Structure 1
Amino acid sequence: MQVETPRYFEWSRYRSAPPVELSALEKADHPIAIVGAGPVGLTLALTIAQYGIPVVLLEARDTLSDNSRTLAVTRRSVQILDRLGIAQAFREKAITRESNYVYHGRRLVSQAPYGQDPQEKYPDISVLQQPWTEKVLLDAVIESPYIDIRWLNAVTGINTSDPLRPELEIEAPEGVYSLAARYVIAADGARGQVRRSLGLKYEEIGDGVISRNFVICDFELRSDLPIARRLWICPPYRPNSAVILHRQPFDVWRLDYALDDDEDIEKAMSPDVVAGRVKEQLSLLGLSQDEFRLVWISSYRPMSRSLPCYRAGNVLFAGDAAHQTPIFGGRGMNQGLLDAANLGWKLALVLKGEAPEKLLDTYDAERRPLIVQNLHDIGLATLCMTAPTKGAALMRKAAFDLLPTEPFILPLIDAFNASKSECLDPAHKDMPTHPAVVGNPLPDCIVQIEGKSAFLHDLLCPASFTGLFFCVDDPGASIPATAEKTGARHRTYTEAVVHLRPHDRAKIVLADDAARARLEVEDGDWMLIRPDGYIQSRITRPSAQEIQHEYLRAIGCQVEIER
């Protein structure tokens, strides 16, 4: 058996261009330099460029990520792509995951549908190979007049002797040069040079999860099986292990399984051995064992760790450069895109002079606790998958034995059933509460815009805060007007008036009672929605002064308000 070339994507090579720094008489100061043009770096560049700010994007490779890598793209990630104007292009390639199956041996013990809520514009999980996701992002980057993407420009070091002007050392095909920027964002992955040059080390979150090798492979096979993720606990051919099978677009499948402690990794990754595992897995589904093509074999060890802080002066870290999440549960790239969405608008407002420098501190204050919480949320599932100690192995065996009869075991074993922390407000994140509270992402719902169905998220301005004012009877209602509420320097604020029930003159109406209940809004309620989709504030019948205060507080300005 040979590993063959995948058919689902054609990788292009991108040329480098002579950096202007090699010919300039004086060094130029750039507002932003992003190191790494993976999905996180590409998303950050596009987010910042929406504000008209120039970005230099540095990439050591000359092509997009090889092979399928991250597959599961969450609704929140697609919402980020939507606000960048590229969600439609993404969805044209992606497939929608319908169900999550869990088996014990040959027996199906759980079948849970993924969320396909009609009130949401996008499904809970979309599936697309990572190079396609990157291609959609890259196409937009190439079209942007504000982004200078530099292929084959490898960062070799960083000089922070001037804390307000970090300087990157870069090797390009045309020569070695230095590039200074007001802010440097490291999105260059877990082995990134920026983090290593600064001597920063990850902290382990949880114990022992890195001690087990996993084999991961892609194979091509046509099948009519439903689009799903399938987890086998104790499959017949690996009775003390767990195996995951994903269906991807373009008739590609992924098989992912742990090795035993005494298995040799090189032998286990040989094409003939991997092909044997694929055949055994296909036999459990009653599929042909002779018609598949192996197109990728790799290995990994699950990592559960984070930097102590995601900001080091004017150098900030995002994605795997900031944290590493176990592959189980599909949170790695998705958390990186949430990093980009959070950091992008804050950097833009600071650089435009609309927000103080200290706003950037909220990036670490908001994102790192969520990352750590997510690592804890999937900790037991990771422990079950890795079983790094004899005690963990005993716990795993007991959990596996109980799975067929005890439903409470499922979240302990399957990371997709574990909690997904996302609330920014400490007052709400540990208690069950309504989804449309401050600190949560704004839930989507169907609205009618002049008689045509749309979604509430379509009202959100891609590069600004949005004030949503909900009213009942007055078709001419508006958010209290004031010339000062956004101020001459604060222009990233828009407004939308949403009516709670139909009226002849109403332009935007919540479609039905289900939408109203989903948001739990009443007449006179006002919400301030951040550029990354989070609910910043909720006030009933706010004054113009209160609106101004909440906006300024959101961007880090300390203001006093008269009551």
Structure 2
Amino acid sequence: MNDTYKGIDRIGPFAYQRFAPTVPLLDNGSEPVRHKVIIVGGGPVGLATALGLARFGVSSVVIEADDSVCEGSRAACISRRSLQIVERLGALDQFLEKGLRWSRGRSFYREHEVFDFTMHDDPSEKLPPMINLQQYYIEHFLLQAIERVNASTPGVIDVRWNSRVTRFVALDAGAELEVDNGVEKYRTSTDWLVACDGGQSFVRKELGLELKGTAYEGRYVIIDIELPSNAPTERRAWFDPPWWPGSTILMHRQPDNIWRIDYQLRDGDSPEDALSPSRVQEFVQTHLDAIGEGHLPWKPVWTSVYRAGAMTLDSYRHGRILFAGNAAHAMPIFGVRGLNSGFDDADNLAWKLALVATGRANEALLDGYSAERIEAFHENAANAMRSTEFMSPPSRGFDLMREACLSLAKDNPSIAKLVNPRQTHAVTYSVNAGTPDTGFDAGPAPGSVAVDLPLDIEGRFLSDVFDFAAFTLLGFGMSAGRVRTLADLVAKIPVPVQVRNLGVVGSEADLFAAADEYEKILQSYGAADGCAYLLRPDGHVAARWRQPSVEDVWDGLSRACATVFDELEESCHS
């Protein structure tokens, strides 16, 4: 992105805090301490990775080139799946308190509404399908979570502001880096380097790696404005509007009366001209006049230019260097898969890197991170590319097809479905999914995300009892003897595993649900008494069994950790 309004002190009520660079203790220009993990990039993905590692007791250093959180809305739509991740990171309350919940979107062709979609939003569910929240708030709330973590475990996350990696050398056992913070240039080293340094990743370029895929020619201007509008929180899209013909316009409400407007540059429009104050004034006023809000006072607070692309690295692991977020892949904004994909990267990577870095799992587990997240990229990209080709046609042929679709959509609901922006959703992994899956006709299959359901009248949900700093072996109505046997097994395994047994009040379970809720949970999981699910720390199902044996659980954990626990093999199979 090429953005303006750099160095701003405030957007609405949000005041930027500027951080001084940290000068670590040095010995002849080098840090005498070798770090377990260094994360390059202190945006949402880097901060989320650091928080995820800290859940497992793994310390990290975050090196961030800027002196504060980002400027402008940037990634502003957070999905339910990302909110599940944010809950594990300890920042959910702040996200929900400040974010604006929404589930509806409307699309217009010229002056007519042609499509209206509503995402599933059941009040009984724990989390909304989507919230709008500016990225500067996202980073701010993650930093507050880091402060809380450091208050209980001092120094587990060391965020170093205004610091830039100027050179690094990849080694078989880690990396050596040179850092310049404007006060001191120093050398430091790490066992593992995680590159979360964005679309222009320095780490990626230094290794000579390139993103491969599709880069679209169309450009979009992003304009954040402060506007005291009472319009509802929903996604609105205008195709070829009469007041700005030949373009597509998107508009989203954000907290603090900040509205985000994205619009497509037309042929012949230059990005530099589009960002000029006079052009911004002309476009925004024209648009607001057209939608009936031109009488309201407004002012621009941030602008940028964006080019859509769906590109990825061939691998997200290169020895002891790992890539996540925009350093690993690029996503179009349509369908809000950018930061949401980045949160999934961090969630998948953190527990795997923590187990490997502490010697509890084989390094092959990190190859699984790369394979799973590249699989997710291709699924996301397929949907995002279809949305992008509709929102910003790459050729005259696509343009004609879209024009025909939009002109017919108003009176043809089946055609109107083609206007659907295909919002992001949780991904099901097919690789490293765990043990063979047999005997289930329903419920979340291995690789998919566990279903979260109400547990009792006290307002607890199933996810409230999962330990996401560990694997969870969730049993349904298992006998006390079976639970003890499985608990004895997992106690001998070096990776953390909690065993929970769900049942109705009065049963042998240690976790209780009301009878009605228990039946609903059994139905949703396709389960019956005696069944068990093995859930990974990122909430994905690793394996499930009708009547799990010790051998089953040993095999499921071995597969999920890409590690053979040799010392248990003989006892498990005897």
Scaled by the length of structure 2, the TM-score of the pair is 0.89
2:377 to 359, 371, 382: 371
Q: Which residue of 2 aligns with 1:496?
A: 500
User: Where does the alignment leave 5 or more consecutive residues of structure 1 unmatched?
Assistant: none
Does residue 61 of structure 2 align to residue 56 of structure 1? Answer: yes
Q: Tell me the secondary structure at the aligned position of residue 490 of structure 2.
A: coil
1:103 to 78, 91, 108: 108
Q: Which residue of 2 aligns with 1:141?
A: 146
Is the CA contact (8 Å cut-off) linking 1:99 and 1:112 kept in structure 2?
A: yes
Is the CA contact (8 Å cut-off) linking 2:491 and 2:497 kept in structure 1?
A: no
C-alpha distance in 1, partners of 2:405/2:177? 50
Where do residues 225-304 of structure 1 align in structure 2 (5 Å cutoff)? Answer: 225-304=231-310
Shift, 1:360, TM fit: 0.9
CA offset digits 1:24-73 (Å, max 9, x no partner)? 77743211000000000000001101111221111111110111111110
Does residue 80 of structure 2 align to residue 80 of structure 1? Answer: no
1:344 partner amino acid: A
CA offset digits 1:311-355 (Å, max 9, x no partner)? 111000000000000011111011001000000000111122211
Q: Which residue of 2 aligns with 1:317?
A: 323
Shift, 1:411, TM fit: 5.4
1:150 to 157, 160, 164: 160
Does residue 226 of structure 2 align to residue 220 of structure 1? Answer: yes
Q: Which residue of 2 aligns with 1:168?
A: 177
Shift, 1:177, TM fit: 1.6
Q: Which residue of 1 aligns with 2:189?
A: 180
CA offset digits 1:393-435 (Å, max 9, x no partner)? 2233233323323444455444335x7461102699xxxx956
C-alpha distance in 2, partners of 1:252/1:114? 23
1:445 to 453, 462, 468: 453
Q: Which residue of 1 aligns with 2:209?
A: 200
Does residue 119 of structure 2 align to residue 114 of structure 1? Answer: yes
Where do residues 5-16 of structure 1 align in structure 2 (5 Å cutoff)? Answer: 6-16=11-21
C-alpha distance in 1, partners of 2:280/2:520? 49
CA offset digits 1:211-248 (Å, max 9, x no partner)? 11211101112222221111112222133332111011
C-alpha distance in 2, partners of 1:83/1:102? 35
1:336/1:91 CA distance change after superposition, 3 Å:
same
1:138/1:173 CA distance change after superposition, 3 Å:
same
Q: Which residue of 2 aligns with 1:380?
A: 386
C-alpha distance in 1, partners of 2:69/2:276? 25
Shift, 1:299, TM fit: 1.1
2:45 to 40, 44, 54: 40
Shift, 1:175, TM fit: 2.0
2:348 to 334, 342, 353: 342
1:193 partner amino acid: F
1:410/1:14 CA distance change after superposition, 3 Å:
farther
Q: Tell me the secondary structure at the aligned position of residue 343 of structure 2.
A: helix
CA offset digits 1:109-134 (Å, max 9, x no partner)? 22222322245311110111111111
Q: Which residue of 2 aligns with 1:306?
A: 312
C-alpha distance in 2, partners of 1:125/1:232? 21
Q: Tell me the secondary structure at the aligned position of residue 423 of structure 1.
A: coil
Where do residues 346-365 of structure 1 align in structure 2 (5 Å cutoff)? Answer: 346-365=352-371
1:393 to 390, 393, 399: 399
C-alpha distance in 2, partners of 1:298/1:338? 25
Scaled by the length of structure 1, the TM-score of the pair is 0.91
CA offset digits 1:429-454 (Å, max 9, x no partner)? xxxx9561111111110002xx5231
Does residue 475 of structure 2 align to residue 485 of structure 1? Answer: no
Identical-pair percentage: 33
Q: Which residue of 2 aligns with 1:508?
A: 512
Q: How many residues align?
A: 548
C-alpha distance in 1, partners of 2:508/2:425? 41
C-alpha distance in 1, partners of 2:31/2:250? 55
1:300/1:251 CA distance change after superposition, 3 Å:
same
Shift, 1:187, TM fit: 0.2
1:41 partner amino acid: G
Shift, 1:87, TM fit: 0.7
C-alpha distance in 2, partners of 1:201/1:66? 27
Q: Tell me the secondary structure at the aligned position of residue 485 of structure 2.
A: coil
2:444 partner amino acid: A
C-alpha distance in 2, partners of 1:310/1:523? 41
2:498 partner amino acid: T
Is the CA contact (8 Å cut-off) linking 2:532 and 2:548 kept in structure 1?
A: yes
C-alpha distance in 2, partners of 1:463/1:357? 19
Q: In terms of mean alpha carbon deviation, does 114-123 or 166-175 score higher?
A: 114-123
Q: In terms of mean alpha carbon deviation, does 394-403 or 531-540 score higher?
A: 394-403
2:44 partner amino acid: P
C-alpha distance in 1, partners of 2:17/2:87? 25
1:441/1:213 CA distance change after superposition, 3 Å:
same
1:518 partner amino acid: S
Is the CA contact (8 Å cut-off) linking 1:471 and 1:477 kept in structure 2?
A: no
Q: Which residue of 1 aligns with 2:437?
A: none
1:406/1:241 CA distance change after superposition, 3 Å:
farther
CA offset digits 1:144-173 (Å, max 9, x no partner)? 22011111110112212x321211121122
1:242 partner amino acid: T
Q: In terms of mean alpha carbon deviation, does 118-127 or 324-333 score higher?
A: 118-127
CA offset digits 1:468-492 (Å, max 9, x no partner)? 11128x7x57635246522445241
C-alpha distance in 1, partners of 2:25/2:167? 19
1:269/1:479 CA distance change after superposition, 3 Å:
same
Is the CA contact (8 Å cut-off) linking 1:380 and 1:413 kept in structure 2?
A: no
2:160 partner amino acid: R
C-alpha distance in 1, partners of 2:407/2:307? 25
Shift, 1:23, TM fit: 5.5
1:121 partner amino acid: K
Q: Which residue of 1 aligns with 2:436?
A: none
Is the CA contact (8 Å cut-off) linking 1:318 and 1:340 kept in structure 2?
A: yes
2:239 partner amino acid: I
1:422/1:497 CA distance change after superposition, 3 Å:
same
Q: In terms of mean alpha carbon deviation, does 142-151 or 310-319 score higher?
A: 142-151
Q: Which residue of 2 aligns with 1:19?
A: 24
Q: In terms of mean alpha carbon deviation, does 257-266 or 178-187 score higher?
A: 257-266
C-alpha distance in 1, partners of 2:356/2:561? 9
Q: Tell me the secondary structure at the aligned position of residue 523 of structure 1.
A: coil
1:477/1:239 CA distance change after superposition, 3 Å:
farther
Q: In terms of mean alpha carbon deviation, does 372-381 or 311-320 score higher?
A: 372-381
